[in-house]
Structures are given as C-alpha cells and as structure tokens.
Structure 1
C-alpha cells in the first residue's frame, strides 16, 4: 500500500509541476527576453552613442580608434620560395 501511495504522490507532483510550468512559462520567458534585451542595449549602446555626438553626411567614413603602434605586423612571416616541377 505504501508503494502505491508513493507512486501516486510522484505522479501528482509531476502533473502539478507540469501544469504550473505551462501557466508561468510565458511570463518567465518574457522576463528573460527583457533582461537579455536590456543587457544587449547596455553593452552595444555605447557604440551607437559615440556616433550620435557629431553629424555625419552620407558616405563619410569615421574611424574612432587608431591602431596600436607597438604591435608588430603579422605580414612578415618569412621568405617566399618558388618551387619548380622537375620532370
């Protein structure tokens, strides 16, 4: 009898959680979406705010950051060796 009682309690808890999750899942997902959107706006809003300070015309190119002069170029890898086929 105790085994049957345990099985019924497990099934009752399972279906109760299933019903509760169906009721509250849209609210939880909406909250998570709002928090994610807010996080992205905070992180990437600084890039758009930098360009809003000065007016630009169409086609104008603006470079905000200068490259580091202390960094070495990766173009100088080594010598170029030309191989020829031997018949």
Structure 2
C-alpha cells in the first residue's frame, strides 16, 4: 500500500488551483455570450407564444360573433299592476 507523499499533495493542489483559475477565466469569456443567447431564445419563445394566443383569441371571437344569433324576446303576457283594497 502506498502512502501519500508531500510532493504528490502539492502537485494535486497546484492542479486544482490551476483548474479553478482556468475555469474562472473561461467563464468570464463565455458566460455573457451564453446568457445573451438564452435570453434571446426565451424572448423569441415568449413572442411566439403571444402570437399563438392572439390568433386563438381572434379565432374564438370571430367564431363567437358569427355563431351568436339575436335572442328572441318571449312574450309571456301583459303586465298587471295590482292595487291594495282596504
């Protein structure tokens, strides 16, 4: 069984630190671009969803307007006003 050596530990620690700084550098370069693409895609999807909603709403209104018939008033009878007799 091998035991951990001090030079191996220092070497591993340097790799971890180097990876951390490289990752930070690349994140600063690429994250704004990626975030911009995500926002643009979300905006586009939102606009498409709004357009679909408008089209459905307009179709419903046109169908509703064309299918509505004027309601006929039913003549039930005459209006009678009753008066109290003392």
TM (norm. structure 1) is 0.55
Secondary structure at 1:27's aligned position in 2? helix
Aligned residues: CA RMSD:
2.6
| Residue 28 in structure 1 maps to residue 34 in structure 2 | yes
Give the equivalent residue in structure 1 for 2:49: 43
TM (norm. structure 2) is 0.55
Give the equivalent residue in structure 1 for 2:82: none
Give the equivalent residue in structure 2 for 1:59: none
Q: Which runs of 5+ in 2 are unaligned?
A: 1-6, 65-86
Matched residue pairs, number?
57
